Amino acid sequence: MDAPVSHHVHIDQVRTELIAAVRGRANEQNVGERIRELFDQLYAFVANAGIQTGHNVVIYNNLADRNLFRTAEGVPLEVGVQVSAPFPARDNVICSATPEGGVATCLHIGRYDRLSETHRAIQMWARANGYTFAGPCWEVYGDWCDDSTQLRTEVFYLLK
């Protein structure tokens, strides 16, 4: 049995980070499968383009007043990887960036299929503390480890 995930939510200021990304949509029912499909497309491009990359990123371009993640059409997402310099878009891969500004953030340690717990913790923390979201949220995945208890994912929600 997995240990419960501990959540320490705090406010921070973040700068934009360039990413190579593929756009798509996902909802609660298909998010894991959809993200893997989009990463497969992205990494096929990255392998051929010889672009130097960093950590994986998923941006959920949600609306401030409506959670598209819970709809049939899903939330628009950008599945990407950090890059060090801009590049011209090719095929379905674009040069994009993470949002910049004030965020509510929390470090998730553990399996990816439990990330929803960290998202819920941030949402509950924001409501309890009088913060509202601007819409987008994103995840920055740390280095891969076969030991799921060592997986680290930073979760960010852009604040109004």
Whether residues 23 and 87 share a domain: the answer is: yes
pLDDT, tens digit, for every residue of 96-149?
999 999 999 999 999 998 999 999 999 999 999 999 999 999 999 999 889 988
Q: Write the pLDDT tens digit of every residue in 9-54.
A: 999 999 999 999 999 999 999 999 999 999 999 999 988 888 889 9
Q: Judge contact between 49 and 43, C-beta under 8 A.
A: no
Pair (115, 83) in one structural domain: no
Same domain assignment for residues 111 and 57:
no
Residue span of the structural domain in which 71 resides: 17-97
Residues 90 and 22 in one domain: yes
61-108 residue pLDDT tens: 998 888 888 889 999 999 999 999 999 999 899 999 999 999 999 999
Sign of CA dihedral 54, 112, 144, 46: negative
Task: Write down which residue in 81, 97, 113 finishes a domain.
Answer: 97
Residues 113 and 52 in one domain: no
81 and 22 in one domain? Answer: yes
Among 65, 80, 97, the domain-final residue is 97
**pLDDT confidence of residue 143:** 93
Q: Which H/E stretch holds residue 16?
A: none
CATH number at residue 79: 3.20.80.10
Q: Please give the tally of structural domains in the chain.
A: 2
Question: What is the Cα gyration radius of the chain?
Answer: 15
φ, ψ of residue 83 to 5 degrees: the values are -130, 160
Name the 3-class secondary structure at 20: strand
Query: In the prediction, which pLDDT does 127 show?
Result: 94
User: Do 47 and 4 belong together in one domain?
Assistant: no
Are 21 and 92 members of one domain? yes
Same domain, 62 and 73: yes
Does the pLDDT at position 3 exceed 70? Answer: no
Q: Both 80 and 122 in a single domain?
A: no
- Give the pLDDT score at 6: 64
Q: What percent of the chain has pLDDT over 90?
A: 79
Q: Supply the pLDDT for residue 1.
A: 42
